[in-house]
A = this chain, B = another copy of it.
Amino acid sequence: MENNKVIMYDSTLRDGAQALGISFTVEDKLKIVKKLDRLGVNYIEAGNPSSNPKDLEFFDKVLKLKLTNSKIIAFGATRRANIKAEEDANIQSLLNAGTVAVALFGKSWDFQVTDILKTTLDENLNMIYDTIKYFKNKGKTVVYDAEHFFDGYNASPKYAMATLQAAFDAGADSICLCDTKGASLPSHIAKVTRIVRENIRCAIGIHCHNDNGMAVAGSIAAVEAGAVQVQGTINGFGERCGNANLCTIIPNLQLRMGYGCIPDESMEMLTPIARYVSEVANIIHDERAPFVGNCAFAHKAGMHADAVNKNTSAYEMINPAVVGNQRNILMSEVAGRSAVMNMINMVDSTITKDSPETKKIIERLKELEYEGYQYEGAESSFELVIRKILNKYNPFFELVEFKVIVDEPSVNSVNSSAMIKIRVGDQTEITAAEGDGPVNALDSALRKALERFYPQIAEIKLTDYKVRVLDSNHATASKVRVLIETTDGEDVWTTVGVSTDIIEASWRALVDSVEHKLIKE
């Protein structure tokens, strides 16, 4: 093992899948395994074959993948009390998963042994020893997960240490100290990890939960105290408040502290993979997440934004590109004028801070922000606002009328249709389209009407559609903000629309999206 190497042990597909709202299909899991292998984590704990029949199908398939960097781990409990390991059906399921490595979890906390497992403290030590020995005899690599280790240590240090000793005696390849309840302070984790290191001559791992908001810090404290394996998940997914977030831990250890976690050349995959896993998990990506969130390198405050422009090291831990992320300088009423000026000067380079147009644009920006618009992340719509004020805008078309009809029961399995009439110069075009829902129908109808005049509209494709309810106290009459992301295969742009009516909000964002394309040409 190279110097300062810390083994990265990913449990997104096992402990991460315990998160509220996450449910991976077999295909999802296979896709994520491929990404994790490319990222270069050492272990992928991919499921619990004894608790979930879906996982057996998955293990069949995953073991057929050719992985470069990662080993697959199947996860399961130590044997039940008072039977042999080979008689335990769960142990057999775990063995049948066919992985070269297994993770076995056992109890460290005396109270849990007597009150939850309802067995004796001695029998629990036997369960740990026998199960590990059984898998070692089958030639497996064994990671022993000492569940509730820190709570167990607090309650009875002697017994907690005895469980680790049993694991070590049985030949465990590594022993992972689990802060299952997520309550331990980093300083306490560091202290206890040091004591374990002094007493057990095994590679020590750390597995933290985030209930106290310190899972990352606890993991890093353990590494500072000599742990050489970190268990965590992509984006910190996991039950309750989540597991230790590997997307935060990896850059901290590797870029700031000099440890080796993943290949250097994989580091720039971190942000794309974090977003990919959010997408597959169908969880809104946490834009405030360190390193991999959209806000991580965003600067809003006038003072800071100026300073960042002057010297990035003053306000940025690392160069965002290293982790595949990017810097954002955001507009807003407290942004001072520098971010807004950058946008204005993209449209007209002769405008200065003191031009009367600048004042007008900022006034308009404030009005629109008051209505619920937000241009952070929807710069293409803001560019159109600026063009309109600077008279650098000629409407490409004019809406005469549209009508959207939703029918239930649906007609011919299509339940929405839209009629649209537009005017371009002195010509009008009226057309209609059907769709999967009213916005889809309206989008299709608008583009159909425009293509006659602007054939390049055929090149664009909507790639994302987001709805945000702004004011949920008014329930179905709430204001909504719609963000639409569009691509023409070359560029990607985002536009925004706000209204109490989702159709109208979508319409505004659609129009901006189309106009951005036409202005671009």
Contacts and interface: CB of A to CB of B under 8 A. Distances in A.
Contacts of A304: 18, 239
A392 B384 CA distance: 56
Nearest to A216: B213
B221 A20 contact: no
A93 interface: no
A104 to B, nearest CB: 14
A445 to B, nearest CB: 11
Interface in A300-332: 300-304, 307, 310-311, 314-317, 330, 332
Most buried by B among A293, A295, A475: A475
B484 A462 contact: no
A348 interface: no
A291 to B, nearest CB: 8
A467 interface: yes
A369 interface: yes
A221 B478 CA distance: 43
A49 to B, nearest CB: 13
Given A296-B240, A501-B437, A507-B408, A466 B469 contact: yes
A183 B248 CA distance: 12
A134 B282 CA distance: 55
A52 B303 CA distance: 12
Q: What's the number of copies of this chain in the assembled complex?
A: 2
Nearest to A466: B469
Nearest to A307: B116
Given A297-B240, A300-B239, A116 B311 contact: yes
Contacts of A212: 216, 248, 252, 256, 290, 317
Contacts of A183: 256, 317
B213 A476 contact: no
A131 interface: no
A500 B437 contact: yes
Interface stretch (A59-67, A266-274, A397-405): A397-405
Most buried by B among A20, A440, A477: A20
A474 to B, nearest CB: 8
A18 B220 CA distance: 28
Interface in A355-384: 369, 374, 376
Nearest to A481: B282
A282 B210 CA distance: 25
A185 B190 CA distance: 13
A437 B478 CA distance: 9
A41 to B, nearest CB: 18
A156 interface: no
Contact of A502 (B240, B245, B437, B475): B437
19 contacts: A21-B374, A51-B302, A51-B334, A115-B311, A213-B252, A213-B290, A214-B216, A239-B298, A239-B299, A240-B297, A241-B289, A279-B472, A401-B408, A415-B504, A437-B500, A437-B502, A443-B476, A464-B475, A475-B485
Given A404-B438, A405-B406, A438-B502, 7 more contacts: A20-B295, A181-B315, A240-B288, A240-B297, A242-B288, A279-B472, A437-B504
Q: What 10 A-B pairs have minimum CB-CB distances, sorted nearest first?
A: A217-B217, A462-B475, A437-B501, A213-B248, A183-B317, A213-B290, A213-B216, A404-B406, A440-B476, A467-B467
Interface of A: 17-21, 23, 51-52, 54, 112, 115-116, 148, 180-183, 185-187, 190, 210-214, 216-218, 220-221, 224, 236, 239-242, 245, 248-249, 252, 256-257, 279, 282, 284, 286-290, 293-304, 307, 310-311, 314-317, 330, 332-334, 369, 374, 376, 399, 401-409, 415-416, 435-440, 443, 461-467, 469-473, 475-478, 480, 484-485, 499-504, 506-507
